[in-house]
Structure 1
């Protein structure tokens, strides 16, 4: 029977109801906890700490102020499932085989969470999973609360330890309720924990977070200058995705209506601006959640020994190059916000300009937890960059491969950056 829970009841239910922690969760080891907060479709400059002129994100900013902000963090492929697979596996898309949103995750691939689980960590995945609608509880998790594919902002349906459950409320709030309840349970068990939090925000359809419906009402959203640049010389696929007003107005009315029904941005600049406002309003709910997570760590004296990483799964176009969305091999699509806070080892207030990527997360966290990365992992640890050490090989000299791929076809565009970085 569907459940309808308010926030307080949700916390009680999450803490007492669906928990099925395996006997694998052992007593505390002298290793740090790890929390990964992952947003969806968040471009780099959408927080005050990353240069937004109007966003006020004091809680997300706090992660970077009390730790390190990466100013050149990128994803290997700007798409939901492939980016998540890179974070999980430390492998590039062509190696982990997730090159689109239709491929099911290969459970034989060792993931960061499974390796931490095998090392004695209590592990949880809460929120968006997004591997071809794969609703299976994945190996290596003591607690599982994921939605299928994108899920929905309001009254989401989630797979909680194998049982589909209808919940009442706003997804960002529910995900954070479950995260806090999980951390509290792990604390009571005196167990180190690994917590992966996948928010739906800021993905479409851009339903504003409760309490933020009127934010930025007086902010004037203007398209960037490149929004109006012509499409001459660009590949056909880029031209077809262009939101350039001249090209929009020339399109068939039926096609325009079909695109609007599919959620594509309208040609009207007024409607475009309101869509931008709503996407930024979604992020404000994540900032509220960051306050709760940081508050829990502080109140329970866990901050010193908890690695907290915040990142976006890919960048996003806000009209740059006449585009909306992601996937094209431009910097706006591939560059992500990323920060780490770990008071015991990471000096506060750092800005790291070295080139890092999502494939580096898994080997880095294993390194910080005193574990060795798997031979299959292609990323490299950025621990030396934030702790004052020296990389065994300069990260800036690596050749990086970026994929840009659509539907089920093989990648038809690739871009590489080399030691010039």
Structure 2
């Protein structure tokens, strides 16, 4: 099969790796419009389950990714001058630049052609059996046929800014700071021994009230460093260079599509779907798309059938995550509803922000119900653990009699 991947992000690169591993005779080219080594963002997050999947499909890639990652198993929340720390699932951070470097090196070693500085026009697609549109949230290939794909793009209310820092956080860190114009907060996580990411978010009223809507990036960073001094420990925040010196404040764009394929063109990664950054799943979902598409193409030789199967499989897998992402984004948009709770309760509901019930139940009542349910489940687990032991003790005593 001749395959053209448009977009050199994680989805396109990993798909090319998996296809070559399945059949080295595939003729695969990855077209990336930017120069090699150019990327946006700082670190990306993933969870233990992704490593298990990478190991199952390409052990060499999995080992390289794990070796270049940092890990944490705690979450820390700072609210005003209070701090709460709780254990959590094992999370990982890796620099986006390093991840792409690993995938590109692996793809090249398998015979994939990587063409950087290669812009593909939607009206002049490469001659290939399959064209993979992995060109991101602003996908030109998807936009050209938006009516066919049934593309819908919804923008969130809050403003956010993606920043780097030399602070290497040892836990996934939340910091909520109250200002005269409302709350502003950040998510911080490490991705190297001296590197971290800070995603800053606030309501639009806070954004304009603080003057961040008109401040040059350098001035905005100075203000943000003061606001988050409590978690930065003197480390600077680092922005993305721009021609006019402005800051890249955005609103999150949720992308959905009615269908993911048209003829021999298929959508993958952010071109097909996006999930709010607050659940930290974007890179994982892109790689899982690649795994599913490679599997479908291998198992179903007829292209229309393979693309339809890929779409069905991924749509079903995404349902719960898309719901979690929507509710997570809404939790932050309604932060005043939760922020004045006692720290332990607030942090507990921060962890429950994906729940579809939480917006409709008074927060303190939800917290009490959740605590009671947790205690009940703990009792059930204890009962299951004790049951066989008690039975063996009774049988042993009966035998001695």
Q: TM-score, normalised by structure 2?
A: 0.27
Structure whose residues are more often strand by fraction: 2
Q: TM-score, normalised by structure 1?
A: 0.26
Structure whose residues are more often helix by fraction: 2
Q: Greater relative contact order (Cα 8 A, min sep 6): structure 1 or 2?
A: 1
